[in-house]
Amino acid sequence: MVDARPAPDERALRLQRFARVGLPLVLLLIYATLGVVRVVSNALRDANLLRVTVGLVFGLAALGLVVLFARNPALRRPRTFGAAAALASVYALVLWPMDSPEERVHFVEYGLVGVLAFFALPLRWSDVKRGVVAAFVTAAAGWLDEGIQALLPSRYYDLRDVGFNALAGVLALAALVLFRFLARR
Protein backbone atom coordinates (compact mmCIF):
# COMPACT_ATOMS: atom_id res chain seq x y z
CA MET A 1 0.00 0.00 0.00
CA VAL A 2 1.45 3.35 -1.05
CA ASP A 3 1.18 6.28 1.34
CA ALA A 4 -0.67 9.09 -0.44
CA ARG A 5 0.32 11.70 2.14
CA PRO A 6 2.91 14.21 0.92
CA ALA A 7 6.35 14.33 2.49
CA PRO A 8 6.40 16.55 5.57
CA ASP A 9 7.71 20.06 5.12
CA GLU A 10 10.53 21.57 7.16
CA ARG A 11 8.09 23.48 9.41
CA ALA A 12 6.29 20.27 10.36
CA LEU A 13 9.59 18.55 11.10
CA ARG A 14 10.74 21.47 13.29
CA LEU A 15 7.44 21.38 15.17
CA GLN A 16 7.80 17.63 15.68
CA ARG A 17 11.34 18.05 17.05
CA PHE A 18 10.11 20.83 19.35
CA ALA A 19 7.26 18.64 20.61
CA ARG A 20 9.54 15.65 21.15
CA VAL A 21 11.77 17.78 23.38
CA GLY A 22 8.97 19.86 24.92
CA LEU A 23 6.67 17.00 25.95
CA PRO A 24 9.12 15.30 28.34
CA LEU A 25 10.18 18.69 29.69
CA VAL A 26 6.58 19.73 30.42
CA LEU A 27 5.86 16.37 32.06
CA LEU A 28 9.07 16.62 34.10
CA LEU A 29 8.03 20.10 35.25
CA ILE A 30 4.56 18.87 36.22
CA TYR A 31 5.86 15.83 38.07
CA ALA A 32 8.78 17.66 39.73
CA THR A 33 6.52 20.31 41.21
CA LEU A 34 3.90 17.95 42.65
CA GLY A 35 5.47 18.14 46.11
CA VAL A 36 5.54 21.94 46.28
CA VAL A 37 2.57 23.06 44.21
CA ARG A 38 0.17 22.71 47.14
CA VAL A 39 2.34 25.08 49.23
CA VAL A 40 2.35 27.62 46.38
CA SER A 41 -1.39 27.33 45.75
CA ASN A 42 -2.15 27.68 49.47
CA ALA A 43 0.04 30.80 49.67
CA LEU A 44 -1.74 32.28 46.65
CA ARG A 45 -5.13 31.39 48.18
CA ASP A 46 -4.16 33.00 51.51
CA ALA A 47 -3.18 36.17 49.65
CA ASN A 48 -6.45 36.06 47.67
CA LEU A 49 -4.45 35.69 44.46
CA LEU A 50 -5.20 32.10 43.45
CA ARG A 51 -8.23 32.85 41.25
CA VAL A 52 -6.41 35.81 39.69
CA THR A 53 -3.35 33.64 38.97
CA VAL A 54 -5.45 30.88 37.42
CA GLY A 55 -7.27 33.54 35.39
CA LEU A 56 -3.92 34.85 34.16
CA VAL A 57 -2.86 31.33 33.14
CA PHE A 58 -6.05 30.94 31.10
CA GLY A 59 -5.63 34.46 29.71
CA LEU A 60 -2.12 33.62 28.49
CA ALA A 61 -3.39 30.42 26.90
CA ALA A 62 -6.18 32.38 25.18
CA LEU A 63 -3.69 35.01 24.01
CA GLY A 64 -1.55 32.27 22.50
CA LEU A 65 -4.57 30.97 20.59
CA VAL A 66 -5.44 34.47 19.36
CA VAL A 67 -1.88 34.91 18.09
CA LEU A 68 -2.08 31.51 16.38
CA PHE A 69 -5.33 32.50 14.66
CA ALA A 70 -3.90 35.88 13.65
CA ARG A 71 -0.76 34.35 12.15
CA ASN A 72 -2.57 31.65 10.18
CA PRO A 73 -4.70 33.00 7.32
CA ALA A 74 -6.40 29.61 6.88
CA LEU A 75 -7.90 29.98 10.36
CA ARG A 76 -9.30 33.48 9.78
CA ARG A 77 -12.64 32.33 8.41
CA PRO A 78 -16.15 32.70 9.81
CA ARG A 79 -16.68 28.97 10.27
CA THR A 80 -13.42 28.71 12.19
CA PHE A 81 -14.50 31.51 14.50
CA GLY A 82 -17.84 29.75 14.92
CA ALA A 83 -16.03 26.54 15.84
CA ALA A 84 -13.85 28.48 18.28
CA ALA A 85 -16.93 30.00 19.92
CA ALA A 86 -18.55 26.56 20.21
CA LEU A 87 -15.39 25.10 21.75
CA ALA A 88 -15.10 28.03 24.15
CA SER A 89 -18.67 27.29 25.23
CA VAL A 90 -17.81 23.64 25.84
CA TYR A 91 -14.78 24.64 27.92
CA ALA A 92 -16.93 27.10 29.89
CA LEU A 93 -19.56 24.43 30.56
CA VAL A 94 -16.89 22.07 31.85
CA LEU A 95 -14.87 24.61 33.86
CA TRP A 96 -17.61 26.81 35.31
CA PRO A 97 -19.02 24.29 37.82
CA MET A 98 -15.56 23.46 39.22
CA ASP A 99 -15.14 24.82 42.73
CA SER A 100 -11.37 24.52 42.90
CA PRO A 101 -9.19 26.82 40.78
CA GLU A 102 -6.45 24.18 40.99
CA GLU A 103 -8.68 21.72 39.12
CA ARG A 104 -9.10 24.24 36.32
CA VAL A 105 -5.34 24.43 35.81
CA HIS A 106 -5.42 20.76 34.77
CA PHE A 107 -7.07 21.94 31.54
CA VAL A 108 -4.11 24.10 30.61
CA GLU A 109 -1.46 21.62 31.78
CA TYR A 110 -2.88 18.51 30.18
CA GLY A 111 -4.23 20.36 27.17
CA LEU A 112 -0.62 21.33 26.49
CA VAL A 113 0.51 17.74 27.12
CA GLY A 114 -2.07 16.48 24.62
CA VAL A 115 -1.07 18.98 21.94
CA LEU A 116 2.64 18.28 22.39
CA ALA A 117 1.97 14.53 22.26
CA PHE A 118 0.02 15.02 19.03
CA PHE A 119 2.86 16.87 17.33
CA ALA A 120 5.49 14.44 18.66
CA LEU A 121 3.82 11.48 16.94
CA PRO A 122 4.78 10.33 13.42
CA LEU A 123 3.82 12.84 10.74
CA ARG A 124 2.73 10.12 8.33
CA TRP A 125 -0.17 9.20 10.64
CA SER A 126 -3.56 10.78 10.00
CA ASP A 127 -4.66 13.58 12.31
CA VAL A 128 -7.37 11.36 13.78
CA LYS A 129 -4.90 8.57 14.58
CA ARG A 130 -2.45 11.05 16.09
CA GLY A 131 -5.29 12.58 18.12
CA VAL A 132 -6.46 9.24 19.50
CA VAL A 133 -2.95 8.08 20.40
CA ALA A 134 -2.15 11.48 21.92
CA ALA A 135 -5.32 11.23 24.03
CA PHE A 136 -4.14 7.89 25.42
CA VAL A 137 -0.65 9.32 26.07
CA THR A 138 -2.23 12.25 27.90
CA ALA A 139 -4.47 10.00 29.98
CA ALA A 140 -1.48 7.83 30.90
CA ALA A 141 0.56 10.91 31.83
CA GLY A 142 -2.30 12.17 34.00
CA TRP A 143 -2.66 8.81 35.66
CA LEU A 144 1.08 8.75 36.39
CA ASP A 145 0.69 12.25 37.89
CA GLU A 146 -1.91 10.92 40.31
CA GLY A 147 0.18 7.81 41.01
CA ILE A 148 3.11 10.00 42.04
CA GLN A 149 0.78 12.04 44.24
CA ALA A 150 -0.30 8.85 46.00
CA LEU A 151 3.33 8.37 47.08
CA LEU A 152 3.74 11.91 48.45
CA PRO A 153 2.83 12.50 52.09
CA SER A 154 1.24 15.90 51.39
CA ARG A 155 -0.84 14.71 48.41
CA TYR A 156 -3.34 11.99 47.64
CA TYR A 157 -4.57 9.95 44.69
CA ASP A 158 -7.78 11.30 43.16
CA LEU A 159 -9.38 9.29 40.36
CA ARG A 160 -11.48 12.34 39.50
CA ASP A 161 -8.26 14.24 38.68
CA VAL A 162 -7.25 11.42 36.34
CA GLY A 163 -10.52 12.06 34.52
CA PHE A 164 -9.92 15.83 34.45
CA ASN A 165 -6.45 15.29 33.00
CA ALA A 166 -7.79 12.98 30.30
CA LEU A 167 -10.71 15.31 29.54
CA ALA A 168 -8.33 18.26 29.28
CA GLY A 169 -6.27 16.40 26.72
CA VAL A 170 -9.30 15.19 24.77
CA LEU A 171 -10.82 18.69 24.56
CA ALA A 172 -7.55 20.27 23.43
CA LEU A 173 -6.95 17.48 20.91
CA ALA A 174 -10.49 17.69 19.55
CA ALA A 175 -10.01 21.43 19.07
CA LEU A 176 -6.63 20.88 17.40
CA VAL A 177 -7.89 18.22 14.99
CA LEU A 178 -10.99 20.30 14.19
CA PHE A 179 -8.97 23.46 13.46
CA ARG A 180 -6.46 21.54 11.35
CA PHE A 181 -9.38 20.11 9.38
CA LEU A 182 -10.98 23.53 8.93
CA ALA A 183 -7.67 25.10 7.90
CA ARG A 184 -7.34 22.59 5.05
CA ARG A 185 -10.86 23.20 3.72
Predicted pLDDT of residue 185: 79
Q: Structural domain tally of the chain?
A: 1
Cβ contacts of 64 within 8 Å, gap of 6 or more:
none
Compute the average pLDDT of residues 122-132: 96
**pLDDT tens-digit readout, 59-82:** 999 999 899 888 988 888 888 889
Contact between 172 and 65 under an 8 Å Cβ cutoff? The reply is no
Average pLDDT, the chain: 91
**Type of residue numbered 111:** G
Share of the chain above pLDDT 90, in %: 71
Q: How confident is the model at residue 4 (pLDDT cuts 50, 70, 90)?
A: low
Tell me, yes or no, whether 177 lies in a domain.
yes
- The CA distances from residue 71 to 55, 90, 114, in Å, are 24, 24, 22
Phi first, then psi, for residue 128 (nearest 5°) are -65, -45
Q: How confident is the model at residue 31 (pLDDT cuts 50, 70, 90)?
A: very high
Predicted pLDDT of residue 6: 64
Helix, strand, coil tally for the chain in percent (to 5): 80, 0, 20
pTM over 0.85? The answer is yes
| Residue 150 structural domain | 11-30+77-184
Cβ-based neighbour number of residue 19 at 10 Å: 19
**Type of residue numbered 84:** A
Largest CA distance in the chain: 62
Predicted pLDDT of residue 2: 52
Predicted pLDDT of residue 131: 96
Compute the average pLDDT of residues 9-33: 96
